[in-house]
Amino acid sequence: MKTENTIPLHSKKIKNPWGFTVLASTFLLMIGAIYLVYISQNDFNQFNEERASSIWGLTFMTIAGILFAFKASFFVYVLFRYFKYKPITSVTDSELPTCTVIVPAYNEGKQVWDTLMSLADSDYPNEKIQIISIDDGSKDDTWDWMKDAKDKLGDRLEIYQQPENKGKRHALYRGFNIGKGEIFVTVDSDSIVKTDTLRNLVSPFVTNEKCGAVAGNIRVLNNAKALLPKMLDVSFVLSFEFVRSAESSLNTVLCTPGALAAYRSTAVFACLPQWINQTFMGQASDIGEDRAMTNMILKQGYHVLFQRNAYAYTNVPEEYKGLYKMFIRWGRSNVRENIEMSKYVFTNFREESKVGSRLLFLNQSIKIIMSYPFLFFMLFFVLTHPLLFISSTLFSILILSSFSVIFYANKYELKESFWAYSYSILYTFGLFWITPYAIATASRRGWLTRELPTKKIKIT
């Protein structure tokens, strides 16, 4: 059964004249790749013979074969775990715990008003919910929109203003200390939730006493405005509804997203001092607060789950510059938190089986460790066999991305699923440098996005 792809906003669809052109070009590239692979069979055979005739080439092929075997086996394992996953249905009103929703905001403008209104419309008992929004020293009219929301919602909303911009982590820290709920829910100020999102998100805490955190299901809000959001929406569906479903069946979701996540308050307070004072290579950590909190809760032995039926729609970058900045931030956080996870994942951190957690960690670590060897090999391949590189890469994209297409089409719309091919091409040729760069600059601070555009002044 397909899930209805309904965005909880009355937004008018925007026709993008480049959409058809990009998709058509994508399919032409795919067809061209098949043709190139067909006519280049002799070149492929010669290339393999060259590699097999040297020690370095043979070593490379052996390592590549081992990695391929691991990745293929891991995919089958994840696929198996995906079919084992089932979301928790909502518990009754009387069973629902008290809940504090925290919305940090920085230079968000009117969008924070939309976020707060969607939360206020939630099907959650009013006496059990506390909504807090904190302006983290915004330079625009965010605070005015928060005050307008306060005027409309009255005592149902509490708003606070930081004296200066300290970062999202500090805004959340203030909210955690103010909050009174048994469960903390964090929602980004550019996200919209459905009416049943909150009750679905917190229900696992009632049915599973070992549950320490829950990740929500993130979809793209602005996917009608530009081409990049369309591509990211397909990517998000695979990342959340496939990967996190599998992780949840292992009680080890690696990251509860900032756009929508829930935490047991006792688990938060057990690691709050460490979390707010976290450093990396002597620098205060001002990014990756969601992954860090998840890591610290996993380390305590709690389960971290995913709720496929708890939707949040969030804005994503519409231009390449914003996209790579977001990925750099995520990449740096991934490097840092994998290092932290390595310190406990092979210990007896949890009573039940830890095999799944360790396999997830190893898969993440291999991606990081192999990023530089892969980059060097790619550059070598481009310089020595450019035609083979183009044909084999595009053909691989066609094969591997077809799973994303089928997965998305089965749940949502077939016509939108083809953006998976376009996204894979963009990522392979336009964002391949992200992980190596993130590793090299892992100690750098800065959110990179959310700043207001500055006007250049000409000096005459």
pLDDT one-digit tens code per residue, 110-129? 999 999 999 999 999 999 99
From the list 177, 186, 126, the residue with the least C-alpha distance to 156 is 126
Fold of 1-39+85-448: Spore Coat Polysaccharide Biosynthesis Protein SpsA; Chain A (3.90.550)
Half-sphere exposure of 344 (CA within 13 A, CB side): 12
> In the structure, what pLDDT confidence band is assigned to residue 2 with cuts at 50, 70 and 90?
very low
- Residue 15 confidence (pLDDT): 55
- Residue 455 confidence (pLDDT): 43
- Residue 31 confidence (pLDDT): 85
DSSP per position, 323-359 = HHHHHHHHHHHHHHHHHHHHTTTTSS-SSS--HHHHH
Residues 6+ apart with CB under 8 A from 40: 387, 388, 391
List 183's β-bridge partners, or say none.
99, 264
pLDDT tens digit sequence for 43-90: 777 777 767 777 877 777 788 889 889 999 999 999 999 999 999 999
- Residue 380 confidence (pLDDT): 86
pLDDT tens digit sequence for 174-227: 999 999 999 999 999 999 999 999 999 999 999 999 999 999 999 999 988 899
CA distance 179 to 279: 25
> In the structure, what pLDDT confidence band is assigned to residue 33 with cuts at 50, 70 and 90?
confident
- Residue 17 confidence (pLDDT): 62
- What is the pTM assigned to this prediction? 0.90
Residue type, 269: F
Q: Which range is least confidently modeled, 244-258, 330-344, 438-452?
A: 438-452
Residue 364 near residue 331 (C-beta atoms within 8 A): no
Q: How many helical (H) and strand (E) elements, i.e. helices and strands, does the chain have?
A: 18, 10
* Mean pLDDT score, 400-418: 93
Residue 127 near residue 163 (C-beta atoms within 8 A): no
* Mean pLDDT score, 140-153: 97
* Mean pLDDT score, 292-320: 97
Average pLDDT, the chain: 90
Instruction: Sort 91 into a burial class: Cβ within 10 Å, 0-12 / 13-18 / 19+.
Output: middle
Domain segments of the chain as ranges: 1-39+85-448
278 phi/psi in degrees, rounded to 5 = -60, 140
Residue 438 near residue 331 (C-beta atoms within 8 A): yes
DSSP per position, 56-102 = HHHHHHHHHHHHHHHHHHHHHHHHHHHHH--PPPPPPTTTPPPEEEE
